[in-house]
Amino acid sequence: MVTRMAKKPDLLPGTLDMLILKTLTRTPLHGYGIALSIKRLSDDVLTVEEGSLYPALQRLLLHGWVKAEWKMTETNRRARFYALTPAGRKQLGIEMSQFEQMIAAIGRVMSDAREA
Amino acid sequence: MNPIARFMRKLSILFRQERFASELDEEMTFHRTQVEKELIAGGMTPEAAHYAAMRQFGNASKLREQSHEVVAFRAETVVQDLRFALRQWTKNPGFASTAILILALGMGVSVAICGFVDAALLQPLPYANPERLMSVNESNVESPRWPLSYPDYLDWQRLNKSFSSLDVYSGSGYLLRTPSGALPVQGERVSGGFFKTLGVRPMLGRDFYPGENRPAGANVVLLSYGAWLRRFGGRRDVIGQTVDLDNASYTIIGVLPRTFTFAPSGNAEFWTPLNSFSTHEKMRTFYNFWGIGRLRDGVSVRGAAAETSAIAKQLQLQYGITGRTLSASIVPLYEVIVGDVRPILLTLLGGAGLLLLIACVNVASLVLVRSENRRREIAVRGALGATPARLVCQFVTESLLLAGFGSLTGALVAAGLMKLFARLVPKDMAANMPFLGGVALNAHTGAVTAAIALMAALLLAATPTLRLSFQKVRDGLAEGDRGHASRLWQRLGANMVIVELVVAVVLLAGAGLLGRSLY
């Protein structure tokens, strides 16, 4: 099953921001790199569509969670690289703990439902 | 996060929109070429990869807009609407300028008249507690108000308990001796407490001393501000100097404040205490002195009138005055000063209101006709996905802009008209209307302007909004369509013409009658 996040952004609101922040923890990436990274790490389950990726990046910039810088890629092309800021790292922590709570809660509900 | 920093970033993007858009474009182009490369590496032909990448990416301008929406201010749609409205106007300048001109004239006249009404009827006289000041005079059946005689004044002052102070004034002319010859000047003889009763203190020098208004008191004079400025160059050392009035030497003791005017005295420049009397003036039946009094706290006008009337009757009996039944007339000083102009002003105000109504109806019908012409535009925009709210927003913006421009121009017209009208009043009449100085764009008239502007805006916004028939998109798209709704609105337009004609006739009749009674 392929989760098309952009088609249903109301399915798990906020998770795209968290995924982007998470992929940026290791190294700064450009938009394509972020999309690729999420796709690979999720074994092609999660596809980030451009229609939601770039607005999300602007939103993160606006909040000051990431900062952008134009740099050269390894193939010598100009690209905008996004890097995590300290505020972004903090935000990622908040979102991850919220997400874990949510998953745990959903898990508890679902396992209870199976027993019933 | 920090809302201020976010706001600043939005602001910086707003000012560098070009750069924001080009950076976003470059970024997305890069993304797409990367996807293309990936697809080619997966075995696709370059051409197929190109189209596949484009398909995956979707509508580029829509993507850009989505990103822009994140960083945009809500107000930007309003700015868009405003720009669109201005573009519409420049394409059709006849409509915009006619509408603005009509609105401006209608508003200008109404606000100008309101300015006069405000200055004359609403703003208090420039005295302390002006509502307690009364014009105190003799009266009988035949003529309701005439001056006191000096002996009567002294008795009224002594006997009454209604007034905390009672004073008289009497107009007088002097011959002022100047280096270039004698000049006739206006003066006013007043009893000693006159300025205290009004609550006016000289801005320079002092008021009369108590002894100065008794017979054989010193010859002293207070100057009006105008006289001080014109005849004495506004010098502060005039106090103590002497002037020659009617061949007698008067010592200048003070200058009255600039705001001081006393309408019944007109332009009196030299204010002297009543301390010498002609033979006539000492007689009880020589009525030459107008009275003003300040009511004591808690005394009503009616109570004061009853008491002073009783005093007048008692004096009549005591001194055996025959030929008339004496009584007292106590009316607020305010009534005496603005009494004459009140009906004229109120009539004019009514006329101005009707004129404003005509102007608004005219502009509203202009807007209506215009929205009729724009049915197709509305229908097309509706078909392309504009929500009704968005369309209404557009029309309301246009109307507000129209009303705004009209009101601004109207305020300018009003300011000009007020100056013009105030100058049209003949000089000697103007001297009796001290309130003319207060006619200007001030807080009151500003509030009136704002209220009228708001009303006009509401009217102009409501007219086309009601007109929009959103359900009839298909009808609107068909050229030259005339549906039921259209006929209904044509009928409304006809009704508006009828209303306008009725108002115009009323206005014309009123103007004719007013003209006849004035001249």
ipTM of predicted complex = 0.76
**Which own/partner contact pairs does A43-49 have at CB distance under 8 Å and 24+ positions apart?**
A44/A2, A45/A1, A45/A2, A45/A3, A46/A3, A46/A5, A46/A19, A47/A2, A47/A3, A47/A4, A47/A5, A47/A6, A48/A5, A48/A6, A48/A16, A48/A19, A49/A4, A49/A5, A49/A6, A49/A7, A49/B58
Q: To the nearest whole number, what is the mean pLDDT of chain B?
A: 81
Residues in chain A: 116
pLDDT of residue A8: 38
pLDDT tier for residue B471 given thresholds of 50, 70 and 90: very low
> Lowest mean pLDDT: which of B27-36, B225-234, B285-294, B493-502?
B493-502
Q: Which residues of A touch B1 (CB under 8 A)?
A: 63-65, 87
Q: Identify all chain B residues contacting A61, using CB atoms and an 8 Å cutoff.
A: 9
Residue B32: pLDDT over 80? yes
Name beta bridge partners: B242: B251
- B388 — alpha (psi -120 to 50), left (phi > 0) or beta? alpha
Most confident of B5-14, B115-124, B237-246: B237-246
- Which residues fall within 8 angstroms of residue B56, CB to CB, at 6 or more apart? A50, B35
Q: What band does B476 get if pLDDT is binned at 50, 70 and 90?
A: low
| CA distance, residue B473 to nearest chain A CA (Å) | 30
Contacts of B30 in chain A (CB under 8 A): 30-32, 77-79
| pLDDT attached to residue A66 | 92
pLDDT at A9 over 70: no
Q: What is the mean pLDDT of residues A45-72?
A: 85
Contact A51 B5 (CB under 8 A): no
Query: How confident is the model at residue B469, as a pLDDT?
Result: 55
Confidence of residue A11 (pLDDT cuts 50, 70, 90): very low
CA-based torsion, B119, B124, B125, B127: positive or negative: negative
- What is the C-alpha separation between B440 and B114, in angstroms, rounded? 10
CA distances from residue B200 to B255, B432, B469 in whole angstroms, order as listed: 11, 18, 65
Q: Which of B237-251, B346-360, B414-428 has the lowest mean pLDDT?
A: B414-428
DSSP assignments along B107-132, one per residue: HHHHHHHHHHHIIIIISPPSSSSGGG
Is residue B116 very low, low, confident or very high in pLDDT (cuts 50, 70, 90)?
Answer: confident
> In this structure, what is the dihedral angle of CA atoms B398, B402, B403, B407, given to the nearest 10 degrees?
150
pLDDT attached to residue B271: 92
- Given a cut of 70, whether residue B473 has pLDDT beyond it is no
CA–CA distance, A99 with B485 (Å, rounded to integer): 55
Give me the pLDDT at residue B518, please.
Answer: 64
Residues of B in contact with A95 (CB under 8 A): none
Residues from chain A contacting residue B5 (CB–CB below 8 Å)? 64
- How many inter-chain contacts (A to B, CB under 8 Å) are there? 63
- Are the C-beta atoms of residues B154 and B160 closer than 8 Å to each other? no
Interval B299-356: pLDDT, tens: 888 888 889 888 888 888 888 877 777 888 888 888 887 776 777 778 888 888 888 8
Which of A50, A52, A62 comes nearest B31 by C-beta?
A50
Name the residue facing B71 among A30, A62, A65 (closest C-beta): A62
| Per-residue burial over B58-97, b = 16 or more CB atoms within 10 Å of its CB, e = otherwise | eeeeebbebbbebbbeeeeeeeebbeebeebbeeeeebbe
Distance CA B422, CA B403 (A): 27
Supply the DSSP string of B406-432, one letter for each residue: HHHHHHHHHHHHHHHHHHHS-HHHHTT
- Closest by Cβ to B31, choosing from A31, A52, A62: A31
- The structure tokens 């086309």 sit at B464
Kindly state the tokens that stand for B161: 């308990």
DSSP 8-state class, residue B213: G
Predicted local distance difference test score (pLDDT) of residue A12: 63
Interface of A with B in 80-99 (CB under 8 A): 80, 87
Pure H helices in B277-387: 301-319, 333-338, 341-373, 375-383
Query: What are B180's two structure tokens?
Result: 């270039």
Beta bridge partners of B295: B163
Are A51 and B63 inside 8 Å of each other by CB? Answer: yes
By CB atoms closer than 10 A (0-12, 13-18, 19+), residue B175 is middle
pLDDT surpassing 80 at residue A23: yes
Q: What pLDDT score was predicted for residue B509?
A: 84
Handedness of CA B111, B115, B117, B122 (dihedral sign): positive
Burial category of A106 from C-beta neighbours within 10 Å (exposed 0-12, middle 13-18, buried 19 and up): exposed
What's the token pair of residue B176? Answer: 């002022």
Q: Are residues B221 and B271 in contact, defined by beta-carbon separation less than 8 angstroms?
A: yes
Residues 6+ apart with CB under 8 A from A53: A16, A20, A31, A34, A35
Min CA distance, A53 vs chain B (Å)?
A: 9
When CB atoms are compared, the residue of B1, B26, B30 closest to A63 is B1
Over range B432-436, report the average pLDDT. 62
Q: Measured between CB atoms, which of B1, B10, B28 is closest to A50?
A: B28
Mean pLDDT, residues B33-46: 85
Higher-pLDDT residue of B296, B494: B296
Torsion angle, alpha carbons of B417, B422, B425, B427, to 10: -150
Q: Model confidence at A24, in pLDDT bands (50, 70, 90)?
A: very high
Residue B253 near residue B221, CB atoms below 8 Å:
yes
Is residue A4 very low, low, confident or very high in pLDDT (cuts 50, 70, 90)? very low
Contact A79 B28 (CB under 8 A): no
All residues of chain B having their beta carbon less than 8 Å from the beta carbon of residue A78 are 26, 30
Residue A48 Cα, gap to closest chain B Cα (Å): 11
Query: pLDDT digits over B341-378, tens only?
Result: 777 778 888 888 888 888 888 888 888 777 777 777 77
Q: Which residue has the higher pLDDT, B422 or A9?
A: B422
For B167, the enclosing helix (H) or strand (E) is: strand B163-178
| Closest chain B CA to residue A57 | B67
Q: Which of B261-270, B391-400, B471-480 has the lowest mean pLDDT?
A: B471-480
Which amino acid does the sequence have at A47? Answer: T
Quick check: B71 and B13 in contact, CB under 8 A? yes
Average pLDDT over residues B114-124: 76
* Beta bridge mates, B273: B190
Q: How confident is the model at residue B402 (pLDDT cuts 50, 70, 90)?
A: confident
The verdict on A77 touching B (C-beta cutoff 8 Å) is: yes
Tell me: pLDDT of B67 over 70: yes
Going by pLDDT thresholds of 50, 70 and 90, the confidence category of residue A1 is: very low
Answer yes or no: do B23 and A51 touch at CB < 8 A: no
Percent of chain B beyond pLDDT 70? Answer: 89
Please tell me the predicted confidence (pLDDT) of residue B282: 83
Task: State residue B369's pLDDT score.
Answer: 78
Average pLDDT over residues B497-514: 81
Interatomic CA distance for residues B138 and B280, integer angstroms: 18
Q: Which of A49, A62, A78 sits opposite B6 (nearest CB)?
A: A62
Over residues B33-55, mean pLDDT: 85
Which pLDDT score is estimated for B169? 92
> What's the pTM?
0.54
pLDDT tens-digit series, residues B153-205: 888 888 888 899 999 999 888 888 888 888 899 999 999 889 999 988 999 88
Average of pLDDT values for B435-464?
79
Q: Above 60 in pLDDT, residue A56?
A: yes
